[in-house]
Structure 1
Amino acid sequence: METVINYLLQFGNLNPQQIDFLTKKGKALTLNKEDYFSEAGRIAKQVGFILEGILRVCYYDNKGNDVTKYFIDENHFVVDLDSFDNKIPSSGYVQAVSNCKLIIFSKRDWEDIADTIVGWERIINKIIKKSLIQKIERRSPLVAEDATTRYLAFMETYPQLVNRIPLSYLASYLGVTQSSLSRIRRSISYK
């Protein structure tokens, strides 16, 4: 829980009583590789903080293809915010790419925290803003580039993720086939 508290303290102040209150609300959760944190068609009922592992946000297109939108790694919150806040079924999935350890907060506990801790909404809004900016920065340069450039940019930006993500998920994220990504990786390794 200390990792969660240290992360939150980057965005605002918490006194010892607030930290104690938060600590009592968080619960440990372990996800095995390929388990779902949240699923399409269901209402998201928890917020998670990733201590170890990688999750991916994905959906199935109208042809049944599995499409990865982005990855979330350690020291980040994970939630389908629209589903969680508005109590509507999720349109996508959040799935474990690797074995994961998280601290989770139920909807009720999250609301208790918001009702109890003065300034909580301000802290969360700063986290959401940072997350949205990161999401835009991740996707924007990838849209107009060729596949090799997209892969090289991903490797440069996320060197800690490249060897931890299955090739199929990375290919989906980059918008290429798995065989194309294999060719790109081979051609780069020969240079």
Structure 2
Amino acid sequence: MNELETYISSFWNITGTDLKMVASFFQPETIQKGSFYLKPGKICNTLSFLQSGLMRVYLIDDSGQEITQWIAGKGGFITDLAGMLFNDASKCYIQALTDCECYTINRTEYNAMEKTVPKWHQLEKLFIARCFIFMEQRVFSLLSMTAEDRYKWLFNYNPALFNEVPLQYLASMMGMSPETLSRIRKRISS
């Protein structure tokens, strides 16, 4: 079982023939550091599993400031669900922060899975529910946690990010200024 199959199996709780079928739809892809997976106004036609590397999802607000929504790393999926599922134009950028190795499925193949994988509707529902729950948790943390608690949550979730990603991106993703992030890091590490 390769890494993609292992992740699909654990994420969707499928095995055997269904697992092999789902994994067979994904194709290996390399995305070079600095390349854009998606830009605003474009429709996202792909869903990718990150085998290695980091991708940043961000917006540019009306004042021209970049706001990092999320940084996806190894073992995560990357897409714009509104585009992939509803053919809506994206409002965000998705850019490779490092060279990335991915397994990617396009919309045509994604939609074809419902004909070849009998449990696909259940699996897709579970996938979308997990995405929704994760986003709910992110919104809740931004609204209810202190800046220090958000820092601790992200650090516990993925400590490697703090060595691999520019701090201004992490600060933006946690809804704080880079200066606030620096003060929190200094206070926690001392």
Q: Which TM-score tier does this pair reach, normalised by the shorter chain?
A: 0.7 to 0.9
Match of 2:161 in 1: 161
Percent of residue pairs identical: 25
The correspondence of residues 96-115 of structure 1 with structure 2, limited to 5 A, is 96-115=96-115
The total of aligned residue pairs comes to: 189
Q: Provide closer, same or farther for how the CA distance between residues 171 and 100 of structure 1 changes in structure 2, counting only shifts above 3 A.
A: same
Contact kept? 1:47, 1:106, Cα under 8 Å: yes
- Return the TM-score normalized by structure 2: 0.86
The correspondence of residues 69-84 of structure 1 with structure 2, limited to 5 A, is 69-84=69-84
The correspondence of residues 27-42 of structure 1 with structure 2, limited to 5 A, is 27-42=27-42
The correspondence of residues 50-61 of structure 1 with structure 2, limited to 5 A, is 50-61=50-61
Match of 1:137 in 2: 137
Query: Greater shift after overlay, 54-63 or 138-147?
Result: 138-147
Question: Structure 2: how far apart are the matches of 1:151 and 1:13?
Answer: 34
Question: Structure 2: how far apart are the matches of 1:84 and 1:36?
Answer: 16
Q: Provide closer, same or farther for how the CA distance between residues 81 and 180 of structure 1 changes in structure 2, counting only shifts above 3 A.
A: same
- 1:142 Cα offset (Å): 3.0
- 1:12 Cα offset (Å): 4.1
Q: Provide closer, same or farther for how the CA distance between residues 21 and 145 of structure 1 changes in structure 2, counting only shifts above 3 A.
A: closer
Q: Does 1:177 align with 2:172?
A: no
Contact kept? 1:60, 1:66, Cα under 8 Å: yes
1:55-92 CA-partner distances (Å, limit 9, x unpaired):
22211111111001122222222211111122121111
Q: Tell me, which stretches of 5 or more residues in structure 2 are unaligned?
A: none
- 1:134 Cα offset (Å): 2.1
- 1:124 Cα offset (Å): 1.9
Q: Does 1:13 align with 2:26?
A: no
- 1:43 Cα offset (Å): 0.6
The correspondence of residues 84-95 of structure 1 with structure 2, limited to 5 A, is 84-95=84-95
- 1:23 Cα offset (Å): 4.6
Q: Provide closer, same or farther for how the CA distance between residues 157 and 26 of structure 1 changes in structure 2, counting only shifts above 3 A.
A: closer
> What amino acid sits opposite 1:148 in the alignment?
E
1:124-179 CA-partner distances (Å, limit 9, x unpaired):
22122122212222331232334333223322333232222211110111222223
- 1:105 Cα offset (Å): 0.8
Question: Structure 2: how far apart are the matches of 1:69 and 1:5?
Answer: 27
> What amino acid sits opposite 1:107 in the alignment?
R
> What amino acid sits opposite 1:133 in the alignment?
I
Contact kept? 2:54, 2:74, Cα under 8 Å: yes
The correspondence of residues 121-132 of structure 1 with structure 2, limited to 5 A, is 121-132=121-132
- Secondary structure, in 3 states, of the residue corresponding to 1:159? coil
Question: Structure 1: how far apart are the matches of 2:151 and 2:161?
Answer: 12
